[in-house]
Structure 1
Amino acid sequence: KQHKKGLMQQLFPAEGETTPRLRFPEFREAGAWEVKRLGDVCEVLDNLRKPVARTKRNPGPYPYYGASGAIDYIDQYIFDERLLLIGEDGAKWLPYEKTAFIVEGQYWVNNHAHVLRPTLAIDTLLENYLTALDISQHITGAAPPKLTLDNLRLIWVPLPPKRDEQQKIAHCLSSLDEVIGLESHKLDTLKNLKKGLMQQLFPQEVA
């Protein structure tokens, strides 16, 4: 995770710059990155989301997403495509706090997460950039703090001029996520192994 974090800091331009410190060889002469507003590179589908009170949710196979991920499973769905969600309220917005996340399949989204369909940016690239970004500076209000739709649209996003470069960066970061997932699984397995071993290495409590 630390390796990916350090790599992202070099693969994306630093604040106030238009070229990253690290670039794949075939794109070193591709020119400066373009900086666009988030609202210009995504279609916002907030008008399709809909909250469902807990008492009115019927159990089912479809994830019910909120600001930070799936909070329930219900018997209906609104969306049936791969989209990008970002917390509107009740989320964490500091760098690397997983503010944005990709969802796919059939699912429901409540009114605590913005729903984005990337059009000019590859979703994996955008997800990683927004996750690394300090979005707290765009938050308003206190009860509760909120990332309004207007502020969401105004977030600046740097993008490589060629889509091939976007794809290459996205693939690189996705590959690291796969490694992180495998290593996390190994770690969980070792923890469970140690826990089971300790239960056998120490005498059991006598009633």
Structure 2
Amino acid sequence: MRSKSDKKKSLVPRLRFPEFREVGAWEVKKLGAVLTFQTGFPFSSKYFNEIGDGLRLIRNADLKSSDRMIFYSGPYEQTFIVNNGDILVGMDGDFSPSIWGHGKALLNQRVGRVSAKDGSSLTFLHFSVSVALKLIEQRTAQTTVKHLSHTTVEKTKWPIPIFHEQQKIAHCLSSLDEVMGLQAKKVQALKQHKKGLMQQLFPAEGETTPRLRFPEFREA
């Protein structure tokens, strides 16, 4: 049988920044102690439109795609306004959190928003909750569509470090995300460049010579 000290040791991460190695183990807390999980409002469909009248509604599907945008022109409470940087979670199917970046919008039903309570880092919670929600998703009974409740999130127990360690981890992981984002843009630019080269290095339809040719083959 494991002792209490053994259990506490298991809450120390394998990789830790030097200044926190003597701080001690992370504390297991209910997520509701460090965050607030707000669920969206069931806005009336009679005010829905696709012509851009009012504020955009954030539905579950909008967290993955922006192919079809729905707007809401009716009355609403300020508490359901979403701004860039807010952490949103789809409550049906895939529970992976995402950072909203498409401007001012409204939090529709079956979409949740994670907010940090005092003494917690929102960026750290984004990374930490990603892991917690994935485990919740895996444990959810196999049904046609998996559903998440704010109660499940807030009652989930999860190891949480002190605030300064949260900040350090958040800064480290955010920096990596920035590098990955820049690399992704470079790859996309190279793909576009390659596409343009292929259009010029091969003859167009109805032609027998390409628009762009290496010097040694221009007289071939």
TM-score of the alignment, normalized to the shorter chain, above 0.5: yes
Aligned to 1:87: 90
Q: Quote how far apart the aligned CAs of 1:35 are.
A: 1.3
- Aligned positions of 1:15-30 closer than 5 A: 17-30=10-23
Write the deviation string for residues 101-150 of structure 1: whole angstroms up to 9, x where unpaired.
23376321111212222114311111112223433234346243211233
With normalisation by structure 1, the TM-score equals: 0.75
Question: Distance between the aligned counterparts of 2:72 and 2:149, measured in 1?
Answer: 29
Aligned to 2:187: 187
Q: Which amino acid aligns with 1:191?
A: K
Partner SS, residue 81 of structure 2: coil
Aligned to 2:121: 122
Structure 1 residues 196, 149: CA separation in 2 closer, same or farther (over 3 Å shift)? same
Mapped contact 2:88–2:111 kept (Cα < 8 A)? yes
With normalisation by structure 2, the TM-score equals: 0.71
Question: Distance between the aligned counterparts of 2:16 and 2:54, measured in 1?
Answer: 42
Q: Is the radius of gyration larger for structure 1 or structure 2?
A: 2
Question: Distance between the aligned counterparts of 1:66 and 1:154, measured in 2?
Answer: 24
Question: Distance between the aligned counterparts of 1:193 and 1:74, measured in 2?
Answer: 36
Question: Distance between the aligned counterparts of 1:52 and 1:124, measured in 2?
Answer: 33
Structure 1 residues 200, 62: CA separation in 2 closer, same or farther (over 3 Å shift)? farther
Aligned to 1:43: 36
Q: Quote how far apart the aligned CAs of 1:185 are.
A: 0.4
Partner SS, residue 45 of structure 1: strand
Structure 1 residues 196, 54: CA separation in 2 closer, same or farther (over 3 Å shift)? farther
Structure 2 residue 71 is matched with structure 1 residue 74: yes
Write the deviation string for residues 34-88 of structure 1: whole angstroms up to 9, x where unpaired.
1112222212322x53446497135168553233616436366732555322220
User: Where do 5+ consecutive residues of structure 2 fail to align?
Assistant: 1-8, 208-220
Query: How many matched pairs?
Result: 184
Question: Distance between the aligned counterparts of 2:60 and 2:86, measured in 1?
Answer: 14
Percent identity of paired positions between Structure 1 and Structure 2: 35
Q: Quote how far apart the aligned CAs of 1:21 are.
A: 0.6
Question: Distance between the aligned counterparts of 1:56 and 1:75, measured in 2?
Answer: 5
Structure 1 residues 128, 166: CA separation in 2 closer, same or farther (over 3 Å shift)? same
Q: What is the root-mean-square deviation in Å for CA atoms of aligned residues? A: 2.9
User: Where do 5+ consecutive residues of structure 1 fail to align?
Assistant: 1-15, 94-98
